Structure 1
Amino acid sequence: MTFPLPYTSATAGSLNPAPSVLKSRIESIDVLRGLIMVIMALDHTRDFFHAQANIDDPLNLDTTTPVLYATRWITHFCAPTFALLSGTSIYLQGLRKSRSELSMFLLKRGLWLIVAEVLLIVPVDTFTLFNTITLVVFWSLGISMVFMAGLTWLPFRAILSIGLAIVLGHNLLDAVEQAPGFRSVFWWALFHGGGNRVFDYAPGRAIVVLYPFLPWLGLMILGYCLGRLFEPAVAATKRQQWLVYLGAGAIGLFVGLRLLNNYGDPFPWSVQKDGLTTLFSFLKVHKYPPSLLYMCITVGPGLLGLALLENVHNRVTGVLRTYGRTAFFYYTIHFFVLHTLRMIVFFAAGHSMTDADKALQTIPMRFVLPGDGVYNLGVVYLIWIAVVASLYPLCRWFDAYKTTHKAQWWLSYL
């Protein structure tokens, strides 16, 4: 079986078939993106409200519980699958735009996402401006789009080769980072270091790099190449078959390399006190930056989900599609809602503005003091469900607004 190559000799040199060939959005992509948005909110709700959120790692094998571990681990699927789908959306945009139009759009949208991270997401997340600039999801997606603006001019096979080289090979840099005396300077942290590196840029002000761009760029490139499966000329059964093969292959690569325990993740697994904890060690893979094994075990099931969701159409997928079509809007609003709720809880517990100033010094203005959490996971889940449900009417309104105001150019950046 060969990878679908629907281009004819007449169109092989062009990124863009006739503009009318892609008549509508791919619903399964929006549904999966919406599911990611919902799961992602669980992790952020835990950050704000769980009793242990700011004093221990939920994946700490010595202190975690099965429910806490699963609550954190399941959210690992969100960022890599979203980056992959972003690349796929770029490819599908290319079916409607000329190459120069696509390149310019990616450049402008990428720069906008970087600006949005600093001027919109960080203030909503921390209720401060420029005190602590955290470079997370939008930064990594934005800078990756800036690179994609140039990469989309290359032949398809060259783009695929670059993406595979980054994803499969970037863990070779682990040896550099683990060498004695290695120190991650700012530019290296942006490139590959990540891992909550803090860099002071002025007295009392710092930049925190959580998401270095290289691995996320690799995922976006592979997502772009995955877009070929969603061309109108590819039969749905063929596409679903390939998605199953690719998803199962990614999971198989994870299992094989993880068993070898010498490449693909900077931290090897080990036998623990019991079978379940050993499984937790096996599945505990590195996110900052995302290792090859992290990407395999998260993107693999995501690809299987894409194959499954294409044939599922019901009320639940309709709700998820709405969240997926308004991802930027939803992401921004959900942080604001969670942080406002946390602020209310903070002051309702009897804390003062002096306590809030202390919180600013420890966990940037999240209205949380070390050990200050009072909620167990059950309450966290209830808050999560309530917040996600409360955002649905807003997302539905915004989705309808975008649909009926397509002529407004700025909506394509949200």
Structure 2
Amino acid sequence: MDIIKKRIQSIDVLRGIIMAIMALDHVRDYFHINGMNGSPTDMETTTPALFFTRWITHFCAPTFVLLSGTSIYLQSLRKTKKELSWFLFTRGLWLMFAEFTLVGFGWSFNISFDFFFLQVIWAIGSSMVIFSGLIFFRYWMIVIIGIALTLLHNIMDYVIITNDNLDVAANFFLITEFEPYAVGSIRIMTAYAILPWTGIMLLGYGIGKWFNSEVRPETRRKSLITTGSLLIVLFIGLRLLNDYGDPAPWETQRNSTYTLLSFLNVTKYPPSLLYTCMTLGPALIVLALIENIQSRFTAIFNIFGRVPFFYYLIHIYIIHILCTALFFAEGYSFEDNFKLKMSFAFRPEENFGFSLSIVYLIWILVLVLCYFPSRWYNNYKSTHKQWWSSYI
């Protein structure tokens, strides 16, 4: 087996694109006038523009987690199973720790550290820790586990849990209730149930085999497009049946546009089977189509995709710092921050922010501000082989 020595640009470019799109959703959270007190997927209050601003960002987390699994497969061609297991275990623990510290603080600016909202970095870190054990399994066993987790976890939609301890465990591993749990004076709430995301990571490991140097590019392209198309067909078929695969059935709305929105409004927390098919199907097709594209456009997103955790970290702080500046510019004081009911520090829940068009302009500003430090760090990683750089 030939060992892949060069990074595969299409993986980095697609990862960079979806991470740039991810920033749009986070800018909307902090700067849209209804970012904290309304749902962009509520059929009663949303608009098509607002809905699709949220919907397009649905592609981000599953694509990122899938490509993380693909990267793990490519690492398995360069490392022994023992070496890769240790790396996944330690990097997973680091990401879980980062969610409680650097990442969590960037989201909240909460200096008391008494509330933790566990999100995608937590899920990726936890999945890596689980994968550190599964990596010793045969390739086909890992793929089967990934398929089983993705196909079957929606069985929980039909299960009623009455035991409190089982409910807590299920809420961390299989379901999402957005229920905070008290640990002494600290409250912890998770948005990303671990095992469905682990399943997606294992699927990413499975498609990693198509990027082996022994696989011809046209064969890889055909495999990606065929699999992506089948996932889209599966999504449409199961969604039309309106039964298994998502806990939120679609309904006929006041007109055809909103009926379409309802059809596309599948569940992210946790990622339902239909959500996974809807997002990963197009992602695989795009991954196939961009493999041979070399342009200024792909070069920019290649930078973001090569330093994903670094980009993720700085984009949160940049967005929240800009929001804090607006907070004081609008006449709020530091004391107001603790008098108003807020989900995040320096972000009032009502009468704060801008229209959707201004949100898009702020998003572009954030991407520009993220690009230059990301380019610097990518250059640093390329010229300085430090052991810790693979963790950031």
Residue 304, structure 1, aligned to residue 275, structure 2: no
Partner of 2:152: 169
1: CA distance, partners of 2:377 / 2:353? 35
Equivalent residues of 2:30, 2:353 under 8 A apart: no
For 1:242-281, what aligned pairs fall within 5 Å after superposition?
242-281=223-262
Aligned residues of 1:358 and 1:369 also touching (Cα < 8 A): no
Cα RMSD, aligned residues only: 1.3
Partner residue of 1:188 out of 158, 170, 173: 170
2:137 is aligned, of 154, 157, 173, to 154
Deviations 1:114-134 (A, max 9, x none): 001111100111112422111
- Identical aligned pairs, as a percentage? 47
Equivalent of 1:56, from 24, 38, 41? 38
Contact 2:67 2:204 in 1 (8 A): yes
Q: Deviations over 1:231-268 (max 9, x none)?
A: 00000000000000010011110000000111000111
Alignment of 1:133 onto 2:116: yes
The 5 A counterparts of 1:335-350 are: 335-350=316-331
Give the structure 2 partner of residue 108 of structure 1: 90
Runs of 4+ in 1 over 6 A off after TM superposition: none
Q: Trace 1:212-361 onto structure 2 (pairs within 5 A).
A: 212-359=193-340, 361=341
- Output the CA distance in 2 between the equivalents of 1:197 and 1:123: 20
The residue number in structure 1 matching 2:389 is 411
> Match of 1:294, SS?
helix
Q: Alpha-carbon deviation of 1:149? A: 0.7
Render the CA deviation track for 1:128-157: whole Å, top value 9, x for unaligned. Answer: 242211110111000100111111111111
Cα distance in structure 1, aligned partners of 2:312 and 2:388: 18
Tell me, yes or no, if the aligned pair for 1:30 and 1:324 is still in contact at 8 Å: yes
Alignment partner of 1:401 is 2:380: yes
Match of 2:360 among 376, 381, 389: 381
Shift of 1:182: 7.5
- 5+ long unaligned stretches in structure 2: none
Say how many residue pairs are matched: 390
Q: Deviation digits for residues 152-193 of structure 1, max 9, x if unmatched? A: 11111111111111001110111114x7x6867322211112
2-side partners of 1:364 and 1:186: how far apart?
Answer: 25
Alignment partners' CA distance in 1, 2:339 and 2:19: 31
Report the secondary structure of 1:185's partner residue: helix
Please tell me whether the aligned partners of residues 115 and 187 of structure 2 are also in contact (alpha carbons under 8 angstroms): yes
TM-score (norm 1): 0.92
CA distance in 1, matches of 2:182, 2:132: 31
Q: Which whole-Å CA distance do the structure 2 matches of 1:125 and 1:172 have between them?
A: 32
Q: Provide the C-alpha distance between the structure 1 equivalents of 2:347 and 2:93, rounded to a whole number of angstroms.
A: 32
Q: Distance in 1 between matches of 2:305 and 2:5?
A: 19
Question: Contact (CA 8 Å) 1:243, 1:304: kept in 2 or not?
Answer: yes
Q: Secondary structure at the match of 2:187?
A: strand
Structure 1 residues without counterparts, runs of 5 or longer: 1-16
Greater Cα shift, 283-292 or 194-203 = 194-203
Distance 1:182 1:309, change over 3 A: farther
Matched letter for residue 347 of structure 1: F
Q: Distance in 1 between matches of 2:378 and 2:41?
A: 36
User: What is the match of residue 120 of structure 1?
Assistant: 102
In the alignment, the residues of structure 2 paired with residue 374 and residue 327 of structure 1 have an alpha-carbon distance, to the nearest angstrom, of 28
